[in-house]
Amino acid sequence: MLNNIMVGKYYPIKSKIHYMHPLSKIICTLLFISMLFICNTIELSLFLCALTLLMMFMSHIPVKIYLKAVKTLRFLLIFIIIINYFSHATLEVTVIMMLRLVLIVLYTTILTLTTPPNEITYGLELFLSPLKLIGVKVSKIALSISLALKFIPTVIDQGNKILKSQASRGIDYDNSNFAGKFIAIKAMLFPMFALTLKRANQLADVMEVRLYNISEKRTNFRINKWGFFDVYLTLIHLALIVVIIMKEVVA
Amino acid sequence: MEIKFENVSYIYNHRTPLSKQALKNINIEFKKDKINGIVGGSGSGKSTLVQLINAILVPTYGKVRIGRFTNQNGKKIKNVNKLRFDVGLIFQFPEEQFFNNTVKKEIIFGMKYFKYQTNNIDKRCSDALKMVELDDSYLERNPFSLSGGEQRKIAIASVLAFNPKVIILDEPTIGLDSGSKNNLIKLIKMLKNKYNKTIIVISHDVDMLHKISDYIFVLDKGEIVLEGTKYEIFSQPDVLDKYGIKCPKIMDFSNMVLLKKGIKIGYRDDIMDLMKDIYRYVK
Amino acid sequence: MDDIVIIKDLNFKYDNKLIFSRFDLEIKRGSFTTIVGPNGSGKSTLIKIILGLIRVNSYINIDQSLLCNDNLKTIRRKIGVVFENPDNQFVAETVMDDIAFSLENMKYNKVEIRKRIEKFTRYLGIYHLLEREPYSLSGGEKQLVALASALVIEPKILILDEALTMVDREVKEKTYKILQELHKTDNLTIINITHDLEDSLYGEEIVVIDRGQVILKGPKELVLEEEKVFNNIGIDLPFMASLSIKLKYYGLVDKIILDMDEMVDLLWK
């Protein structure tokens, strides 16, 4: 049951996108999201859609994985249609809104599917590092995000185990009505919370003993190197956003 | 109650790049009213196997027959809670699932909220405690304040409250010190002898399995490679060694005497009996 | 041979419970010591104190340095630890990154890191697991990864905190063989904490702790004769020790024999 939450988890295969440096991927993602919000015409939105599809293709990840991510949006999309119908918005505006939602999810899913969590946080840390100059504790934030991401699969795994265990005691999620499901989740959350806390404490001890120091520099053993493709893709995104800005501003 | 695996295979994440076959064409018939031991190295598929017995998992191929129920792909079991009445499965580290502040609530939670049996809940609770040799004084205690061995017993009691005919224990003695371990061994034997339960125990602790099992199944890489009485199984150290399984030390001794000296002293359960055998054969 | 760990007069209370009172312990450099005691005897707390995770005011000397706030880093560089729960020790998404973690923190360069990872993973037979996610491994494989992470810093002391209690016997024996090798060739001091006395057969010395006190200490052949002590604290003797004691009582052997081969040969000359 909980496996449905695993949307966007790192998908370990080889592709040009997988080999990119995390910083360039983050920059491209942010540029893309900005472009999405700047553009107001359907042609440009469809163009960005084509760009997304191209990158999805280059990531070599099966389409149905991406579809799973979009599936979770279906209610929201219907909601948008309904709202826009009642506020008499044009078809074009509605389509652009829906496209924006779908494309944001798809593009960020490309990021999370092709970049392991520690690389994402490394990239984020690099990206936010200018903020260190104004006193923002970038390293601490990056560490918190990194640990949270790292633990998602284990916590979910633990949750699954507890659900199964509770099922043997008669607290069955899968075979209950709505009220039963609610109680079953409650019976899962408490032990899961307690276990996660215990794990967090033990892990903190382990990291301390293994000489982790948040404020010190360390060798980052395996981050993808910045390569030609990184430059290429980042420049393309930059060029695109400049073009889009000019089009929108001029129009 | 018959428990039979017919050509059962289980594949995790079937049809994805992360697929992993945990069980291959398993055919087993567990012995009724006996203690069935399942032994195998890490990754042999033991935990997957028992989850197929109370339908927490559904076979990818094949059928599992549990009394009048059949667990197979494509045919969801109606009233699976009735299955849980008959088959109680206790996972590793069952005390990790506690979330109530009294032992009583822990034991009857499933029954009470899921309305499995609304009459006589309190009596069932006391009966369950009696089965694990704890008295009613434990009812109002906080489960988190109990020792590891006691917690384990309470977790077992919460499954026993359904009075299942079959009890499955996954690594019941893991993490316990000698005192608690011996206590639990006594308990499992009593469940068979006094309460006539069919018991299935998974463990990598062969010494413990030797003390309690009547019949043993050996799993290796998802397949059943050996089965027999414990004496039949543990008198084959070279075969077991292929699968990375050691014999209980008490059997190992007799095996070694036979191998090195050609003398067949008995296969024993108890060290005193072994001692008497040694004495007889040395003099 | 000097002492690599010296604890003098340790007093420690937790939650108003007295855990250690006037506790003394010395571990010789290069020894393989098993510290054994029932659950709740204070074994794990002792390890936390030695690692500086719990700060105390008592005299604790590790490898000729006094344990204090200023030199925690230096001392921790010399100690590799494997904890009990395989699931709660992983800090990275792949085995390789996890093993590299300590070395990254110690600022070793990438070449050296790669070299050491290859050396130790090959030695432990887990080289093929480098790109796997730690939580997808079996229990035994997880502990081997944790062991690699500890050994890769080339510590002077290796501490196993109930590290092999959840692991099956095959992995246990394989791991202990490796530890015995390391102990011989690299003069590694090994401290193995366990509640299972069978594990003490792989080491040399035994220290028995109960309720925050050392109640027995010495070479295993002598300590394992003390049947009454172990009965009192509720720990079962290892099979060979138990058998030896009974055979000795009936006059068939005259001392504790821990090796099964030796015992069989002795009985049937």
pLDDT at residue A152 above 80? no
Instruction: Show residues of chain C in contact with A116, CB under 8 Å.
Output: 93-94
Question: Residue B117 has what pLDDT?
Answer: 66
d(CA C100, CA C121): 11
Question: Residue B92 has what pLDDT?
Answer: 87
Residue of C nearest to A195 (CA): C88
pLDDT at residue C102 above 60? yes
Question: Residue A2 has what pLDDT?
Answer: 41
Cβ atoms of C149 and C98 closer than 8 Å: yes
pLDDT digits (tens, 9 = 90+) for A158-195: 888 888 888 888 787 777 788 888 888 888 888 888 88
Closest residue by Cα to residue A230 from A54, A27, A56, A12? A27
Closest residue by Cα to residue B22 from B205, B217, B201, B219? B219
For residue C168, name the pLDDT band (cuts at 50, 70, 90).
confident
pLDDT digits (tens, 9 = 90+) for A99-110: 899 999 999 999
Look at A219 and C131 and tell me if their CB atoms are within 8 Å. Answer: no
Look at A198 and C88 and tell me if their CB atoms are within 8 Å. Answer: yes
Closest residue by Cα to residue B198 from B167, B226, B161? B167
Question: Residue B118 has what pLDDT?
Answer: 66
pLDDT at residue C70 above 80? yes
Residue of C nearest to B179 (CA): C234
pLDDT digits (tens, 9 = 90+) for C195-243: 899 999 999 999 999 988 899 999 999 999 999 999 999 899 999 999 9
Question: Residue A31 has what pLDDT?
Answer: 94
CA C177 to chain centre: 13
Look at A161 and B113 and tell me if their CB atoms are within 8 Å. Answer: no
d(CA B209, CA A215): 51
**How does the average pLDDT of chain B come out, rounded?**
89
Question: Which residues, at least 6 apart from A169, have a Cβ–Cβ distance to it below 8 Å?
Answer: B97, B109, B110, B158, B159
Helices then strands, counting H and E runs in chain A, come out as 9, 0
Look at A118 and C97 and tell me if their CB atoms are within 8 Å. Answer: yes
d(CA B175, CA B149): 9
Dihedral sign for Cα C122, C127, C133, C134, please.
negative
pLDDT in tens, chain B (283 residues): 889 999 999 998 888 777 888 999 999 999 999 999 999 876 778 888 988 998 888 999 999 999 889 999 888 887 777 888 889 899 888 888 888 889 998 888 877 777 666 678 888 889 889 888 888 889 899 988 888 889 999 999 988 888 889 999 999 998 888 888 999 999 999 999 999 999 999 998 899 999 999 999 999 999 999 999 999 999 999 999 888 888 999 999 999 999 988 888 889 888 889 988 888 888 6
Residue of C nearest to B180 (CA): C234
Look at C110 and A219 and tell me if their CB atoms are within 8 Å. Answer: yes
Does B142 touch chain A if contact means CB atoms closer than 8 Å? no
For residue A4, name the pLDDT band (cuts at 50, 70, 90).
very low
Dihedral sign for Cα C39, C40, C44, C47, please.
negative
d(CA B99, CA A189): 9
Interface predicted TM-score (ipTM):
0.87
pLDDT digits (tens, 9 = 90+) for A50-73: 999 999 999 999 898 888 888 888
- Residue B143: DSSP 8-state: G
Tell me the shortest Cα–Cα distance from B156 to chain A, in angstroms.
9
CA C203 to chain centre: 9
pTM, to two decimals: 0.83
Does B109 touch chain A if contact means CB atoms closer than 8 Å? yes
Look at C264 and B260 and tell me if their CB atoms are within 8 Å. Answer: yes
For residue A8, name the pLDDT band (cuts at 50, 70, 90).
low
Name residue C5's beta-bridge partners.
C27, C62
Helix pair angle (C95-105, C139-151), 10° resolution: 20
As a whole number, mean pLDDT of residues C139-153 equals: 93
DSSP code per residue over C97-154: HHHHHHHHHTT--HHHHHHHHHHHHHHTT-GGGTTS-GGGS-HHHHHHHHHHHHHTT-
Instruction: Show residues of chain B in contact with C138, CB under 8 Å.
Output: 42-43
Chain A residues whose C-beta sits inside 8 Å of any chain C C-beta:
10, 12, 116-118, 150, 153-154, 157, 198-199, 202-203, 205-213, 216-222
Q: Which amino acid is at C184?
A: K
pLDDT at residue A1 above 50? no
Dihedral sign for Cα B129, B130, B134, B136, please.
positive
Instruction: Show residues of chain A in contact with B84, CB under 8 Å.
Output: 167-168, 170, 172
Question: Residue A3 has what pLDDT?
Answer: 44
Q: Which amino acid is at C268?
A: W
Dihedral sign for Cα C229, C235, C237, C242, please.
positive
Chain B residues whose C-beta sits inside 8 Å of any chain C C-beta:
41-43, 147-148, 174-180, 182, 204-207, 244-246, 249-250, 252-253, 256-257, 260-261, 263, 271-272, 274-275, 278-279, 281-282
